[in-house]
Amino acid sequence: MHPYAERYRHSWRLRIAPDPGETRRIERWLATARVFLAASALAAIRMDPTELLGHSWAAYGLFVFYLANGILIMMLLRRRQQSTAAFRLLVHAGDILWPALISLFAEGPRSPFFLFFFFVLAAAAYRWGLWETLGTAAAEVALLWMECFILLHGWLGPRGWPALSQFLGLRVNLPEFEPQRLFMLSVYLIVMGLLLGYLAEQQKHLRGEKAVVTGFLSRVRVEDGLTGTMQKIFQETMSMYGASRVLVASQESHSHRVFLGELNNSRNGPPSEFRWLDARPADAKTYLDDFPGEVCHASADGDGWSVLALDRDGNQLTAVNPAAISQLRQAQTFSSVITVAFLFAEEWRGRVFLFNASWRGEKQEELRFLLNLVHLVGPAIYNVYLLHRLRRRASAAERARMARELHDGAVQSLIAVEMQVDVLRRQAEAKRPIGEDLGRIQALLREEVLKLRELMQQMKAIDVDAQRLIGVLNDTVERFQRETGISARFVTDIGVLDMPQRVCRELLRIVQEGLVNVRKHSGARHALVRLGSSGDKWSLTIEDDGKGFPFAGRLDHDLIEEAGKGPMIIKERVSLIAGELTVESSPGKGTRLEITVPRGEEVPHEF
């Protein structure tokens, strides 16, 4: 069970424990604010000393100590790897105590230093939520009333203050601590704590919903496939809403085929698996049509149904018809059900059913969240479906290309070889010389072996990075020389290569394609592959001494595009890495291909 989903179901406040890094940042921000508040208070006292009664050394010392305390907390947070709960509670307890102490040295608790009360309430709201902020406000009120009791009715009393005041140079504004005045201040603190705590609680509520959605989206993985992804998503949904079973019904628009899938909750056993059920066209009426609203909750109420339905915008529908729920009850067994609709690109429509769900929280708000969850997570699941469908089509196209290559190449050549071998058999029976024909057959077989190897090389997935590229290029050129008999070399002046992996793969493919063209078309005896780097560009050149292209001169990238000349496959691969291709041809003397790729250029992602 995903921890976010567990917290979501069992906490009506969607309380989510922040990660240690986030907690540490919060404490750092509060420490910075604490130091700023203390420094601002000292500056205010400096500018207007009348804010402190008596201007006592104890009052100044208290503010300096508060500033030093803030700096110490900031330094501890910078040195510690994480902030523990005990440390945060200790710091917060000190923050609660400071305003009560400062009120003794000011004109009273309603002086401008009331900001210290506000800071501790804001800190509680920022750290936690509503109840902790209200608790902090109650603690502040309790401390103020305790001060009132000590000053007016306690063991010091009005007569006990002269000696203490003379020792500390302290003069307390006793009228400010009268119960009538403290009562209104207490009301202010409680109301302010309620307001700040409520706002913080709503912010954490939104953050909790965002975390739940993020947790759901993290479960969407292409490698799991559509069935595996739906299993993980529905397991999270069942855990979050306490459902006993999940059923999904969908219909494809163009074929009208209906699909049903089911996942059962296995609380006491191993995790259940999502499975597809046999569906009929008539099931569309049972599971997809006539349900009230975009999302609804229905529970058995005597002989009828109690239904709460919301439209697409989350507004409650006043008039609902429970006939579809009754029809669903004939096909499924349940006492309550939540159903939410989805629509994917006008191609698929469907509904998700959560049977026998139970959760804490206000139903209408929970249904709104479920509707929002489906709208956010549904497209990600649909993308998994589209990606797998595109991959299947790409695989089918690749298989068709391979079949065409084999039919037009190897199969045709083998048929030709079979016919020539039959001719040789007859010549051998007639005792005619067959050496020349055997040489021709051998050359044809050698050519087809090379073509099959090249085809297998194109099919092979390439996993090459900057550290391996130079070695792989060198091996590719050496293998080309061994297999073709054409003298070939690879040279480079690069010691350490920092090329992106995508560029490495495409450059290797370009070299492979270039060498294939040298073997097939050039009639060359020598070939050279050079990889270099100059300034902000990488450069790759492929040279041969063959017959060249049917034009003389040098064509840059733009001229090649305009004239429609040059190697097409290489041009496409160069474009994929935002590079430029230059072709230099000397008919009868050879060809030189030069590819330049800019450093730091953002390369389009490969599908």
Where does residue 249 rank: exposed (0-12), middle (13-18), buried (19+ CB within 10 A)?
Answer: buried
Q: What is the pLDDT of residue 171?
A: 53
Q: What is the pLDDT of residue 354?
A: 92
Helices (H), 242-290: 283-287
* Strand, helix or coil for residue 69: helix
Q: What is the pLDDT of residue 157?
A: 46
Question: Which domains does the chain possess?
Answer: 3-216 (no CATH), 222-389 (3.30.450), 462-598 (3.30.565.10)
Q: What is the pLDDT of residue 607?
A: 38
Which residue has tokens 């109301």?
191
pTM of the model: 0.56
- Cα separation values, 415 from 308, 407, 420, Å: 73, 10, 9
Q: How far apart are CA 515 and CA 486, in angstroms?
A: 10
Q: What is the pLDDT of residue 441?
A: 73
Q: How far apart are CA 73 and CA 34, in angstroms?
A: 9
In which region does residue 267 sit, left (phi positive, over 0), alpha (psi from -120 to 50) or beta (all else)?
alpha
Q: What is the pLDDT of residue 166?
A: 46
Q: Give the residue ranges of the chain where pLDDT is below 50.
A: 1-15, 55, 110, 155-158, 160-169, 603-607
- Cα separation values, 209 from 9, 12, 523, Å: 11, 11, 67
The secondary structure element, H or E, covering residue 54 is none
Closest by Cα among 254, 261, 263, 213 to 235: 263
In which region does residue 348 sit, left (phi positive, over 0), alpha (psi from -120 to 50) or beta (all else)?
beta
Angle at 440 between CA 438 and CA 444, to 5 degrees: 115
Q: What is the pLDDT of residue 9?
A: 39
Closest by Cα among 448, 601, 454, 602 to 538: 601
Q: What is the pLDDT of residue 10?
A: 40
Q: What is the pLDDT of residue 536?
A: 83
- Cα separation values, 398 from 504, 548, 588, Å: 23, 31, 36
Closest by Cα among 292, 300, 316 to 365: 316
Q: How far apart are CA 465 and CA 504, in angstroms?
A: 6
